[in-house]
């Protein structure tokens, strides 16, 4: 296989207006052997896109108003077009979903797309942007719900809170520029991850490694990329990396439990440089499993690029949000699930993608029953908190007259505490 041809097929979906904008940025980078696809409910924004594949999800005529701005409706539309989405995902190993959450299309369609892609056997990585705080509560809430859904369906979600960008920009940065930076960051992330898989490495990170890393955890991830050139590039690149807003000064690394590092350099990349960079990263990762890869690219001569993905173990947020699944009418749910099933079976028969994973939908039940269940749940939780037994404070052994004096510590034992207590001798 040629060096530049990736071993895996990659497709990048831009979902919604924001997603398509990011896609444009990636298109500029012109990653080889990558298919770009744009999905939106708004035909106008699709028309401006340079993506090779364009999927326009037609909304039912709802008295003239499009589904834009309402994720539930977008979701419904996407679910109706599930076969089309699945078709688009067919035969691809890795799918990137780019979206800006908080709006209609991105928030609504992305989870459905992720599910479709997973069912067709691809590894799904979502790069999403969270709205600015100033965009209002409603959008933030929608975005959070969308993120939760996406986390449940996609293998990995890399989320960039736009708010963090404010740290990067100065007083004079225009709105257009700000969004440009945002898109640039996400695009960088995507190309970084792509490089990780596509480039033939000295120390390779296998596609399977990445899958294992992300699938096992299904948590939220952070990524950071940095690039530097020149003699002091290894030092510079570390400085830049830790200045990245996503890493929060290295705090993210300390919290994460798996870190994937990919270094890309020219043929002049030295072992010392790799060592120095890895040592630095390892020292920041307290309990994380660090997987590293290094790749050589002729285009990176005298440059050093680093891509870092930090994964936190997925804490399943059971936020009491009205998940659209629950809101679906039972009939609809049945329709989609049977659809899924047939597709799944068909796929199996074809034997095209044996590693297809089927995500079973929630058990169906009438609305009334569900409400009842939910109500019971909340009630029982409330009573539980009320009935909770009070806990006495931990017994602290008074040191009597030595209370205020310097403790006599010998091999971690406070010798001022009576010996019989330390040795656990009972006085009956």
Query: What mask of x and - would describe binding to other proteins in positions 271 to 300, judged by CB under 8 A?
Result: ------------------------------
Q: Is 420 in the site for other proteins (CB under 8 A)?
A: yes
Does 408 participate in binding other proteins (rule CB under 8 A)? yes
CB of 302 to other proteins, least distance (A): 47
How many residues bind to other proteins according to rule CB under 8 A?
A: 19
Task: Name the residue nearer to other proteins (CB basis): 320 or 423.
Answer: 423
- Interface residue with other proteins, options 174, 385, 391, 405 (CB under 8 A): 405
Stretch of 87-95, 138-146, 274-282, 408-416 lying at the interface with other proteins (CB under 8 A): 408-416
* Least separation in angstroms between CB 129 and other proteins: 53
Within a 13 Å sphere around the CA of 25, how many CA atoms are in the beta-carbon half? 23
Q: Which of 56, 278, 326, 402 binds other proteins (CB under 8 A)?
A: 402
Q: Which residues pair with 289 in a beta bridge?
A: 258
Any contact of residue 406 with other proteins (CB under 8 A)? yes
Rounded least distance, CB 414 to other proteins, Å? 11
- Only one residue has tokens 């969004």, namely 179
Residue 80 or 416 having the CB closest to other proteins: 416
**Residue 366 vs 424, nearer CB to other proteins:** 424
Which range, of 12-20, 90-98, 326-334, 412-420, touches other proteins by CB under 8 A? Answer: 412-420
d(CA 101, CA 131): 7
Residue from 174, 272, 391, 419 binding other proteins (CB under 8 A):
419
* Piece of 156-164, 261-269, 297-305, 395-403 that binds other proteins (CB under 8 A): 395-403
Nearest residue (CB) to other proteins, 384 versus 427: 427
**Interface with other proteins includes 230 (CB under 8 A)?**
no
Both structure tokens of 1: 């296989």
Q: Which residues pair with 104 in a beta bridge?
A: none
The whole-angstrom separation of Cα 106 and Cα 87 is 19
How far is the first Cα of the chain from the last one, in angstroms, to the nearest whole number?
80
Note whether 358 binds other proteins by CB under 8 A: no
Q: Does 414 bind other proteins (CB under 8 A)?
A: no
Stretch that binds other proteins, among 153-161, 285-293, 359-367, 406-414 (CB under 8 A): 406-414
Instruction: Using only the alpha carbons of the chain, give its radius of gyration.
Output: 26
CB of 394 to other proteins, least distance (A): 17
Answer for which of 5, 380, 398, 414 binds other proteins (CB under 8 A) is: 398
The nearer residue to other proteins, 348 or 398, going by C-beta atoms, is 398
State the angle between helix axes of 137-153 and 71-80 in degrees (0 to 180), rounded to the nearest 10: 30
427 in contact with other proteins (CB under 8 A): yes
Query: Which of 377, 398 has the CB closer to other proteins?
Result: 398
412 in contact with other proteins (CB under 8 A)? no
**Residue number with CB closer to other proteins (62 or 398):** 398
Select 29 or 397, whichever has its Cβ closest to other proteins: 397
Q: Which stretch binds other proteins (CB under 8 A): 219-227, 296-304, 329-337, 419-427?
A: 419-427
Residue 400 makes contact with other proteins by CB under 8 A: yes
Tokens of 310: 């930090």
Three-state secondary structure readout of the chain: CCCCCCCCCEEEEEEHHHHHHHHHHHHHHCCCCEEEEEEECCHHHHHHCCCCEEEECCCCCCCCCCCCCCHHHHHHHHHHCHHHHHHHHCCCCEEEEEEECCCCHHHHHHHHHHHHHHHCCCEEEEEEEECCHHHCHHHHHHHHHHHHHHHHHCCEEEEEEHHHHHHCCCCCCCHHHHHHHHHHHHHHHHHHHHHHHHCCEEECCCHHHHHHHHHHHCCEEEEEEEEEECCCHHHHHHHHHHHCHHHHHHHHHHHCCEEEEEEEECCCCCHHHHHHHHHHHHHHCCCCEEEEEEEECHHHCCEEEEEEEEECCCCCCCCCCCCHHHHCCHHHHHHHHHHHHHHHHHHHHHCCCCCCCCCCCCCCCCHHHHHHHHHHHHHHHHHHHHHCCCCCCCCCCCCHHHCCCCCCEECCEECCCCHHHHCCCCCC
Stretch that binds other proteins, among 11-19, 259-267, 343-351, 402-410 (CB under 8 A): 402-410
Q: Would you tell me which residues interact with other proteins (CB under 8 A)? A: 397-402, 405-406, 408, 410, 415-416, 418-421, 423, 425, 427
């Amino acid at each position: 296989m040629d060096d530049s041809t990736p071993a895996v097929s990659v497709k990048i979906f831009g979902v919604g207006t924001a997603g398509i904008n990011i896609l444009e940025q990636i298109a500029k980078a012109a990653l080889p052997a990558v298919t770009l696809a744009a999905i939106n409910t708004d035909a106008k924004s699709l028309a401006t896109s340079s993506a090779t594949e364009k999927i326009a999800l037609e909304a039912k005529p709802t008295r003239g108003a499009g589904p834009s701005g309402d994720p539930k409706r977008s979701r419904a539309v996407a679910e109706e077009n599930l076969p089309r989405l699945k078709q688009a995902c067919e035969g691809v190993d890795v799918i990137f979903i780019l979206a800006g959450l908080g709006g209609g299309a991105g928030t609504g369609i992305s989870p459905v797309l992720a599910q479709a892609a997973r069912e067709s056997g691809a590894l799904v990585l979502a790069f999403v942007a969270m709205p600015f705080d100033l965009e209002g509560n409603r959008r933030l809430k929608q975005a959070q719900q969308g993120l939760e859904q996406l986390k449940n369906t996609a293998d990995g979600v890399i989320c960039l809170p736009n708010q963090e960008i404010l740290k990067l920009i100065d007083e004079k940065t225009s709105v257009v520029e700000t969004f440009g930076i945002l898109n640039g960051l996400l695009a960088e992330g995507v190309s970084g991850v792509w490089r990780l898989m596509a480039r033939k490495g000295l120390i390779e990170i296998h596609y399977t490694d990445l899958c294992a890393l992300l699938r096992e955890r299904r948590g939220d991830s952070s990524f950071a990329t940095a690039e530097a050139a020149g003699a002091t590039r290894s030092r510079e690149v570390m400085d830049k990396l830790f200045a990245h807003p996503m890493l929060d000064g290295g705090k993210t690394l300390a919290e994460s439990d798996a870190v994937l590092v990919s270094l890309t350099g020219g043929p002049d990349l030295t072992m010392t440089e790799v060592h120095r960079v890895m040592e630095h990263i390892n020292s920041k990762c307290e309990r994380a499993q660090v997987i590293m890869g290094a790749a050589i690219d002729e285009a990176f001569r005298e440059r050093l690029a680093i891509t870092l993905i930090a994964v936190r173990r997925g804490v399943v947020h059971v936020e009491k949000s009205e998940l659209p699944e629950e809101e679906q009418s039972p009939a609809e749910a049945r329709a989609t699930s049977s659809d899924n099933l047939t597709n799944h079976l068909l796929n199996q028969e074809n034997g095209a993608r044996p590693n297809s994973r089927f995500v079973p939908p929630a058990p169906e039940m009438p609305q009334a029953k569900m409400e009842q269940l939910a109500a019971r749940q909340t009630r029982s939780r409330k009573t539980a908190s009320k009935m909770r037994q009070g806990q006495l404070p931990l017994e602290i052994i008074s040191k009597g007259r030595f209370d205020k004096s310097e403790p006599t510590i010998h091999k971690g034992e406070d010798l001022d505490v009576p010996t019989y207590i330390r040795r656990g001798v009972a006085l009956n």
